[in-house]
Amino acid sequence: MSDSGNQSCLMGAEDTVSFLVCVFHTWEDWAGLGQLEDYLSVLEYLLWVFTPLAVVFILPFLIVILLYLSILFLHVYKRKNQLREAYCNNLWDGARKTLATLWDGHGAIWHGYEIHGMEKIPDKGPALIVYYHGAIPIDYYYFLANVIIQKGRPCHSVADHFLFKVPGFKLLLEVFSVIHGPQEECVRALRSGHLLGISPGGVREALFSDETYPLLWGKRKGFAQVAIDSQVPVIPMFTQNLREGFRSLGTLRFFRWLYERFRLPIAPVYGGFPVKFRTFLGDPIPYDPNVNAAELAEKVQQAVQSLIDQHQQIPGNILRALLERFHTKHKDH
């Protein structure tokens, strides 16, 4: 209705009802509701056309998820006898083996996870495992799962203080023997005959390392002093394509400044790509009473760097790491 039509309508209204109807039509024209109805009609038509197409693509995706859940269940079921025995012996042993089986299944399905050199982890007795820290250390979770399953023993771990402040994590950390890292507590765990895993780079390496895989250990040598005080061997560890699975935006200046200023590890992490993961365990570095902490730290860093140089193409490439899922035989680089 035009403006002149609206004015004549208002002036010619003979009663209240006619006047209100006329006001409504005037407001409808002013607000463009007539056009809105056209837009809604078009939107309804598009939904009618594309909904069947969306369903066609979503349903197969849901079936794939169901298949993966079925495979995950089978990974758990094939170890039902071990799980039953674990639950009979100790409640938390059963819980650990159940979660280890789930994580092992996830690693096998999503990353085709492999471990090379598992025989270097002792069946009994202590050892210090020193590893490169990814943006998310999911490879270390897979490693812990395999130690529990294959060696029948847990591996204690050292984690950053902030992890103990995350709501709901307390029980998980207790059950899997995670400590926040005082040297005395680490020595106590090793002298008690346990395995202990530690990443000298820690959160800094997780946030600020990149696809070129630099080791950001600085001058840290506390882990080496722990090994000397405990008189245990050190086993270096590195996982191929770890930075292609998950990457961090910590290399951006803002997040670097935020961490250095406030110690807030909040750099965004992206990824979750199903790239090939292979964990390599180097030769154990035996205890030597003639080597001090600084020398041992340097030796361990060189051992981890050697694993990176031998098994990781630099810089890492996500597409290449994805294609490696199709290769069953490992080739050293």
The pLDDT profile of the chain, 333 residues, written as one tens digit per residue, is 445 555 555 455 455 556 556 665 665 565 555 555 666 676 777 777 777 666 656 655 665 676 667 677 767 777 777 777 777 777 788 888 888 998 999 999 999 999 999 999 999 999 999 999 999 999 999 999 999 999 999 999 999 988 888 888 888 888 899 998 789 999 999 999 999 999 999 999 999 999 999 999 999 999 999 999 999 999 999 999 999 999 988 888 898 888 888 888 888 888 889 999 999 999 999 999 999 999 999 999 999 999 999 999 999 999 999 999 887 555 444
Q: How far is CA 256 from CA 24, 160, 261, in A?
A: 59, 17, 8
Q: How far apart are the first and last CA of the chain?
A: 76
Whole-prediction pTM value? 0.77
Cβ burial 246-264 (10 Å sphere, 16+ → b, else e): bbbebeeeebeebbeeeee
Cis peptide before 289 (omega within 30 of 0): no
156 is catalytic: no
Q: What is the pLDDT of residue 263?
A: 82
Active-site hit among 106, 111, 133, 194 = 133
Question: What letter would DSSP give residue 285?
Answer: B
Q: What is the pLDDT, as a whole number, of residue 301?
A: 98
pLDDT at 332: 46
Segment holding 246, helix H or strand E: strand 246-248
**Cα 129 from Cα 216, distance rounded (Å):** 17
